Chains A and B, each alone.
Chain A
Amino acid sequence: MKMKDASIMASPHKGNHPGSRLLLGLLTAVAGLTVSLHAEGPPTAQVNTTGLAVTDTTVTVGQLHSATGTMAISETGSIQAEQLAIDQINAAGGVLGRQIKVIKEDGASDWPTFAEKAKKLLVKDKVASVFGCWTSASRKAVLPVFEKENGMLYYPTFYEGLEQSKNVIYTGQEATQQIIAGLDWIAKEKKAKTFYLIGSDYIWPRTSNKIARKHIENVLKGTVVGEEYYALGHTQFGSLINKIKLKKPDVIYAIVVGGSNVSFYKQLKAAGITSDKQTLLTISVTEDEVLGIGGENLTGFYSAMKYFQSQDNPNNAAFVKAFKDKYGEKSVIGDVTQAGYLGPWLWKATVEKAGSFDVDKIAAASSGVEFKGAPEGYVRIHDTNHHLWSKLRIGQWGADGQAKVLYESGLIEPDPFPKGYQ
């Protein structure tokens, strides 16, 4: 399957197999698209005034993730979801009557490489849009390139906020969207007053805990009894566990990432800190991480995310089925994977609204663009800040690695520069 995808991308003249096209067409119809299908698009000169790679029948986009290196395991889901969305859009007639061709580049988990490849996609390939990046560091590395060369990036990961660019659409949640509603819920549900904040030592956990601390102290009138950071890749949590036992917080608020996650939850369990005695809320564990940690090691703990694979709605049912049909029954879908899937669809809707592939026109037309077929339910691009309005959900993990959705907020306004939280 992997090799077949690669060959399609390497030789863009080949179309999809007619059978799979039909199937995908049916699936997209089920997904409840709002945008009408175009049989034939408007002339190229009209929709492309800036020399992008758009012909009468095709439009070329870029995909920039780490296919190799330490981040490959995390980014594969986004690569797959974006490809799925592009296949479905092509099967449904493409964008402005043009089939989407993908040029795939490997950022190789290395930030200078990300910058190099971003520039290649924009300058040499003249792609109309790029779906990519995962870590904040890779986004920070490519951002100046996108702004200088005037490209368009759809970025799928939930992140720390404090950023807004004409050239980026952020399809994941910024920090306040993920944090505030989750803390409100746990404070009300568990009558929680004391919190222990834990994070991996880099910008996202630190910024997120800063927001969490302000909210706990100023709004919930609770106390933060401890705040600790560990280097990425740290695996010894013994001393932390002793401190937790000493302070007995009502809630452990954990933002541990990557390989550290596995040790963290296994050691908590070994030390007897399990969900029957201790409430734990995390914003860094999705279905993808649970695959590595093992569902039995965090049964009963809570995650605050905008999407869970187990979400029960028709959009999601069709999405999960299409994803598993394409990538295998055992594949799981986490929050970022779903956010990756939103990128191509939002881009298509925006292009059709603008009636043009021009980046300036897309950046301007993005305001208020909706996607009613989103697996998470419904999303809309904010009128001014290029982030998404989305809901927050609390999921409780089961031993099977799937979460039970216990709570769903209303649509939350994205606020990348939150007043009173800085």
Chain B
Amino acid sequence: MTYKNLFKSKAETWSAAALALLVLVVLPLLLPIFRLNLFGKYLTFGFVGVGLVLLWGRCGILSLGQGVFFGLGGYCMAMFLKLEASDPISTKIQSTPGIPDFMDWNQLTSLPWFWVPFKSLPFTMIAVLTIPALVAFIIGWAMFRRRVGGVYFAIITQAIALIISLGIDGNQGLTGGRNGITDLRTLLGWDIRSTSAQYVLYYVSALLLFACILFGRYVVNTRMGRVLMAIRDREDRVRFSGYDVALYRSFIFALAALFAGLGGAMFVLQVGFMSPSLIGIVPSIEMVIFAAVGGRLSVIGAVYGTLIVNLGKTTFSEAFPEMWLFLMGGTFIAVVMFFPNGLAGLTEPGGFLSRQWQRWAPKSLLSVFRSEVEPPSEAASEESLLKGATEGVK
């Protein structure tokens, strides 16, 4: 696989290189560690964004529940760190030393069975990578096999986000409830709050994110990627050609969940806690906004979008604590009106400057909510696309 396989245009190659330069060199050189740590946090949402581009932009599946997978990955990591922080010596004040503090407050006297395996770091790492993906695959399989799609799928993912966040909220003895799992300090004795650890974790996040970006691009450019795009544009034809549409969709949903879970785990390592407020409906929708601002068709664009929206959030709320939400809202409206394909749309041939000014009016407002914005959606190219896809896989 050459770079030509990974990035479809020169512009995209440049924007990937620019992102790498920005994230790996410029930001660490320019920013004090406190700000860099914040960027590290933003990058963890970038994992979700990359997954959403594959899922939503490439395969036309809009999930409003990606927070669930971000949270599952995060909770797996948080459980390990919490158990490490709850050794019998530092919890000797409790009625039952050696269990996490919130369990003691809820009169638990022993560790619940599903917490026990999280004493092991290898198990935790496997869990971070598999649990979100497995849950997503099961949900996806159940839904897509029944041909649930479009708006209904989006609604169901949202319901799942609500159920899971309420479930965690309501079982505080087992999960830490609304407060979440807090006060995480060390990873195998390594203080994750120290300056050096924050640099290391920032780079680990950044490199993992680039690995996800490259893997995402790779998937898009395989034969399977073309089948996925064909499913997005004309599902019935792909099905009639003998493909198991549900399996393809479940796979990409699971892959997006895996990315999100990885992001969640890196979030916990850098921020030091996990709570249900990152799982529910609002954060899940926010994650979709990150992808939409960056451009839901471009994995690089999604990462830019995540960085820009979060930087905007931090900057506006520091400068205008009383009215920053209005500024954020105004920004979203402006993006939807002027860049219907997100910021990534700027780099496309004949992009913003040449085309969008003339047709920014209501039509483009509508088109941003449709999933068929990408060029091959037109009827003429459909045939060739499907042909390419079917040939490719056979």
Listed in ascending order, the chain A residues whose CB lies under 8 Å from chain B are 2, 6, 67-68, 104-106, 108, 110-113, 115-117, 119-120, 123-124, 136-137, 140-141, 143-145, 148, 160, 162, 201-203, 206-207, 210, 231-232, 417, 422
- For residue B324, CB closer than 8 A to chain A, the reply is yes
**Shortest beta-carbon distance from B150 to chain A in Å:** 29
Given A115-B271, A231-B169, output 19 extra A-B contacts at Cβ < 8 Å: A67-B321, A68-B325, A105-B317, A105-B321, A106-B317, A108-B325, A110-B277, A111-B179, A111-B180, A111-B277, A119-B34, A123-B34, A137-B179, A140-B179, A144-B273, A145-B272, A160-B105, A203-B105, A203-B177
B193 in contact (CB, < 8 A): yes
* Choice from B172, B184, B273, B318 contacting A203 with Cβ under 8 Å: B172
B271 touches A112 (CB 8 A): yes
State whether A207 touches B179 (Cβ < 8 A): no
Given A202-B169, A203-B105, A203-B178, do A141 and B321 touch, yes or no (CB 8 Å)?
no
**8 Å CB contacts to A: which residues of B3-42?**
32, 34-35, 37-38, 41
Chain A residue contacts of B166, Cβ below 8 A: 231
B325, A232: Cβ atoms under 8 Å?
A: no
* Chain B contacts with A in 271-328, Cβ cutoff 8 A: 271-273, 275, 277-278, 314, 317-318, 321-322, 324-325
On whether A210 and B193 interact (CB within 8 A), knowing A115-B271, A202-B178, the answer reads no
In whole angstroms, what is the CA distance A136 to B275 when docked? 13
For A144, the chain B residues whose CB sits under 8 A away are 182-185, 193, 272-273
- What residues of B have a CB within 8 angstroms of the CB of A201 in the complex? 169-170, 172, 177
Query: B32 — which chain A residues lie within 8 A by C-beta?
Result: 123-124
Judging by beta carbons under 8 Å apart, are A231 and B179 in contact? no
Q: Are A141 and B273 in contact (CB under 8 A)?
A: yes
Say if the beta carbon of B102 comes within 8 Å of chain A: yes
- Docked-complex contact A202 and B38, CB < 8 angstroms: no
The minimal Cβ–Cβ distance linking A314 to chain B, given in whole angstroms, is 34
Q: A119-B34, A203-B102 are in contact. Are A141 and B169 (CB under 8 A)?
A: no
Whether B180 pairs with A137 at a CB distance below 8 angstroms is yes
Report the Cα distance A160→B104, complex, angstroms: 14
Provide the residues of chain B in CB contact with A68, threshold 8 Å. 324-325
Asked if B107 is an interface residue, CB under 8 A from chain A, the answer is yes
Question: Once the chains are docked, how many angstroms separate the CA of A108 from the CA of B185?
Answer: 25
Q: Contacts A137-B179, A143-B182, A206-B106 given: A232-B272 contact, CB under 8 Å?
A: no
Q: Which 10 A-B pairs have the closest CB atoms?
A: A106-B321, A123-B34, A140-B182, A137-B179, A140-B179, A202-B178, A144-B183, A104-B321, A148-B193, A111-B275
Q: Does B1 contact A (CB under 8 A)?
A: no
Q: What are 5 A-B interface contacts by the 8 Å CB criterion?
A: A106-B322, A111-B277, A112-B277, A144-B272, A203-B172
Alpha-carbon distance A140/B314, docked complex (angstroms): 21
Q: Which of B105, B170, B184, B272 is the one whose CB lies under 8 Å from A207?
A: B105
Whether the pair A6, B277 counts as a contact (CB closer than 8 A) is no
Chain B residues contacting A422 (CB-CB under 8 Å) are: 95
Partner of A231, one of B170, B184, B273: B170
Is A203 a contact partner of B179 (Cβ separation < 8 A)? yes
Among B32, B102, B321, which residue has the most Cβ atoms of chain A within 10 A? B321
A283 to chain B, nearest CB (A): 18
Closest to A229 in B: B170
CB under 8 Å from chain A, chain B span 320-361: 321-322, 324-325
A401 CB to closest chain B CB, in angstroms? 27
Q: Check: B89 CB closer than 8 A to any chain A CB.
A: no
Contacts of A6 in B (CB 8 A): 322
The answer to whether B93 has its CB under 8 Å from any CB of chain A is yes
**Nearest B residue to A162, CB-CB:** B105
Q: Tell me the bound Cα distance from A119 to B277 in angstroms.
A: 19
For B324, the chain A residues whose CB sits under 8 A away are 68, 106
